[in-house]
Amino acid sequence: MALYLGIDLSTQGVKAELIDPDNPEIKFGGFSVNFGADLPEYGAPDGFVSNPDPLIRVADPAMWLDAIELLFARMHDSGAPLGEIAGISGSAQQHATVYLKKSFPQVLEKLDKAKTLSEQIVPCLSRRFSPIWMDRSTTCECKELESRFGDRLRLETGSPAVERFGAAQIRKFAKESSDIWRDTATVHLASSFFTSVLCGVPSPIDYGDGAGMNLLNLKTLTWDAEIAEFSAPGLLDKLPKAAPSATVAGNLSPYFTKYGFRAGTPVAVWSGDNPNSLIGVGAGEPGIAVVSLGTSDTFFAAMRDFRTDPDGYGHVFGDPAGGFMSLICFTNGSLAREEIRKKCGISYAEFDQITPIPENENLMLPYFVPESTPLVLRPQVQCNFDWEKASANERVRALLESQILSMRLHSTWQNEKIRRIRVTGGASKSAALLRIIADVFQSEVETIAVANSAGLGAAIRAANAIDSMPFEALYRNFCAPIATTYPNSKQKSRYMRMLEAYRKLETAT
CA 305 to chain centroid: 20
Kindly state the DSSP code that residue 213 receives in the 8-state scheme.
Answer: G
| b/e 312-333 (16+ beta carbons within 10 angstroms → b) | bbbbbbbbbbebbbbbbbbbbb
Q: Which amino acid belongs to residue 290? A: V
Return the CA Rg of the chain.
23
* Residue 290 beta carbon to ligand XUL: minimum distance, rounded to whole angstroms: 13
By DSSP bridging, strand 315-318 and strand 481-485 are unpaired
Q: Does 130 bind ligand XUL (CB under 6 A)?
A: no
- 4-23 residues in contact with ligand XUL (CB under 6 A) are 11
Site string for ligand XUL, 162-201 (x = CB under 6 A): --x-------------------------------------
What are residue 125's phi and psi, to 5 degrees? Answer: -80, 125
Q: Does 160 bind ligand XUL (CB under 6 A)?
A: no
Q: Does 94 bind ligand XUL (CB under 6 A)?
A: yes
How far apart are alpha carbons 460 and 5 in whole angstroms? 8
Among 4, 99, 133, 502, binds ligand XUL (CB under 6 A): 133
Closer to ligand XUL by CB, 8 or 416: give it. Answer: 8
Nearest residue to 410 via CA among 264, 258, 278, 299 = 299
What angle (nearest 5°) sits at the alpha carbon of residue 389, between those of residues 385 and 391?
Answer: 95
Strands (DSSP E) found in 322-383: 324-330, 364-367, 380-383
* Residue 329 beta carbon to ligand XUL: minimum distance, rounded to whole angstroms: 6
* Residue 10 beta carbon to ligand XUL: minimum distance, rounded to whole angstroms: 7
Closer to ligand XUL by CB, 456 or 498: give it. Answer: 456
* Residue 298 beta carbon to ligand XUL: minimum distance, rounded to whole angstroms: 7
Nearest residue to 206 via CA among 193, 28, 198, 219 = 193
By DSSP bridging, strand 13-19 and strand 3-9 are antiparallel
Closer to ligand XUL by CB, 133 or 181: give it. Answer: 133
* Residue 159 beta carbon to ligand XUL: minimum distance, rounded to whole angstroms: 9
How far apart are alpha carbons 215 and 4 in whole angstroms? 31
* Residue 273 beta carbon to ligand XUL: minimum distance, rounded to whole angstroms: 5
How far apart are alpha carbons 365 and 336 in whole angstroms? 10
* Residue 413 beta carbon to ligand XUL: minimum distance, rounded to whole angstroms: 17
Query: How many chain residues interact with ligand XUL (CB under 6 A)?
Result: 11
Closer to ligand XUL by CB, 270 or 351: give it. Answer: 270
Q: Does 95 bind ligand XUL (CB under 6 A)?
A: yes
Kindly state the DSSP code that residue 428 receives in the 8-state scheme.
Answer: G
Q: Is 294 left (phi over 0), alpha (psi -120 to 50) or beta?
A: beta
- 215-274 residues in contact with ligand XUL (CB under 6 A) are 272-274
Is the preceding peptide bond at 54 cis, omega within 30 degrees of 0?
Answer: no
Closer to ligand XUL by CB, 15 or 164: give it. Answer: 164
* Residue 93 beta carbon to ligand XUL: minimum distance, rounded to whole angstroms: 4
**Candidates 41-49, 92-100, 282-290, 306-314 — which segment interacts with ligand XUL by CB under 6 A?**
92-100
Nearest residue to 62 via CA among 14, 119, 126, 106 = 119
Q: Nearest residue by C-beta to ligand XUL?
A: 94
Helix and strand counts by DSSP (H, E) for the chain: 20, 24
Q: Does 154 bind ligand XUL (CB under 6 A)?
A: no
- 264-303 residues in contact with ligand XUL (CB under 6 A) are 272-274
* Residue 294 beta carbon to ligand XUL: minimum distance, rounded to whole angstroms: 9
* Residue 213 beta carbon to ligand XUL: minimum distance, rounded to whole angstroms: 11
**Footprint of ligand XUL on this chain (CB under 6 A)?**
11, 93-95, 133, 164, 212, 272-274, 315
